Chain A
Amino acid sequence: MSKHKRSLIFYAILIIILSAGVFLTANNDHWYNATIVRIDHAKNSPTDQYRNGTNDRYYEQLLTGTVKNGPFRGHTASLKNEYSASGVFDEPYQPGDEVFLSAVSSESGTVTGSISGLKRDKYVAALCAAFILFILFIARGRGLLTLLSLSVNIGIFWYSLILYTSGINILLLANLLVFSFTGLSLLLVSGWNQKTFAAICSTLISIAITLLLFKLVMTFTGGVDYAFMEYITSPTDLPEIFMAQIMIGGLGAVMDVAITEASAMSELISKDNEIPLRNLIQSGRDIGHDIMGTMINVMLFTYISGSIPLIILKMNSEIRLHTIILWHMPMELYRFLIGSIGILISIPVSILISLLFFRRIGRIGSIGIIRSIGKIRRFL
Chain B
Amino acid sequence: MIIVLAAILAVLLYIVGGERGILTFLTLCWNIAVLSVSIVLISWGWEPITITFLSCLLICSATLFYQNGRSGKTYAAFFSVVLILLILVLPAYLLGLNSHIQGLNELMLREDEIMGLTPNININIVKIAVSMMITGLIGAATDTAMAISSAVYEVFRNNRQLHTMELFHSGIRIGKDVLGTTVNTLYFACIGESMMMFLLFKSYHYSFGRLINSKAFFQEFTDIIFSCLACILVIPLSAAITSFILRNPGKFKRLLDEDVLFLDPKE
Q: Which residues of B contact A305 (CB under 8 A)?
A: 132-133, 135-136, 223
A139-B179, A306-B220, A315-B43 given as contacts; is B186 within 8 A of A252 (CB)? yes
A118-B99, A217-B5 given as contacts; is B42 within 8 A of A312 (CB)? yes
User: In the bound complex, do residue A245 and residue B209 qualify as a contact, i.e. CB atoms below 8 Å apart?
Assistant: no
Q: Interface segment, B29-37, B162-170, B241-249, B254-262?
A: B29-37
Bound-state Cα–Cα, A370 to B84, Å: 49
Closest CB in chain B relative to A271 CB, distance in Å: 12
Interface 1/0 per residue, B105-140 and A, CB below 8 Å: 011110101001111111111101101110111111
User: In the bound complex, do residue B184 and residue A252 qualify as a contact, i.e. CB atoms below 8 Å apart?
Assistant: yes
Question: What are 13 residue pairs bridging A and B, where the CB atoms are less than 8 Å apart in the complex?
Answer: A34-B209, A56-B119, A88-B121, A91-B100, A123-B98, A241-B196, A252-B185, A256-B181, A291-B147, A309-B128, A313-B121, A337-B6, A347-B16
User: In the bound complex, do residue A117 and residue B202 qualify as a contact, i.e. CB atoms below 8 Å apart?
Assistant: no
Question: Considering only CB atoms, which chain A residue lies closest to B189 in the complex?
Answer: A302
User: In the bound complex, do residue B123 and residue A86 qualify as a contact, i.e. CB atoms below 8 Å apart?
Assistant: yes
B95 within 8 A of A: yes
A85-B122, A252-B184, A298-B143 given as contacts; is B179 within 8 A of A135 (CB)? yes
Q: Interface segment, A15-23, A39-47, A229-237?
A: A229-237
Select B228's contact among A131, A231, A250, A291, beta carbons within 8 Å. A131
Q: Which of A51, A123, A223, A292 has the most CB of B within 10 A?
A: A123
Closest CB in chain B relative to A259 CB, distance in Å: 6
B236 within 8 A of A: yes
A66 within 8 A of B: no
A59 within 8 A of B: no
Q: Which residues of A contact B210 (CB under 8 A)?
A: 34
Q: Which residues of A contact B180 (CB under 8 A)?
A: 139, 142, 145-146, 149, 188-189
For residues 237 through 252 of chain A, which have their beta carbon under 8 Å from a beta carbon of chain B?
241, 244-252
A181 within 8 A of B: yes
Given contacts A120-B212, A316-B121, A345-B12, 6 further A-B contacts (CB under 8 A): A86-B122, A86-B123, A245-B192, A253-B189, A291-B147, A321-B36
A138 within 8 A of B: yes
Closest CB in chain A relative to B147 CB, distance in Å: 8
Question: Considering only CB atoms, which chain B residue lies closest to A185 in the complex?
Answer: B184
User: In the bound complex, do residue A120 and residue B215 qualify as a contact, i.e. CB atoms below 8 Å apart?
Assistant: yes
Bound-state Cα–Cα, A177 to B150, Å: 34
Question: Considering only CB atoms, which chain B residue lies closest to A130 in the complex?
Answer: B229
For residues 204 through 220 of chain B, which have their beta carbon under 8 Å from a beta carbon of chain A?
209-210, 212-215, 218-220
Which 8 A-B residue pairs are closest in the complex by CB-CB distance?
A249-B192, A252-B188, A301-B139, A56-B120, A252-B185, A305-B136, A54-B120, A88-B119
Closest CB in chain B relative to A192 CB, distance in Å: 16
User: In the bound complex, do residue B232 and residue A344 qualify as a contact, i.e. CB atoms below 8 Å apart?
Assistant: no
A55 within 8 A of B: yes
A27 within 8 A of B: no
User: In the bound complex, do residue B111 and residue A231 qualify as a contact, i.e. CB atoms below 8 Å apart?
Assistant: yes
Q: Which residues of B contact A296 (CB under 8 A)?
A: 24, 28
Q: Which residues of B contact A321 (CB under 8 A)?
A: 36, 39-40
User: In the bound complex, do residue A86 and residue B17 qualify as a contact, i.e. CB atoms below 8 Å apart?
Assistant: no
Q: Which residues of A contact B9 (CB under 8 A)?
A: 337, 340-341, 344
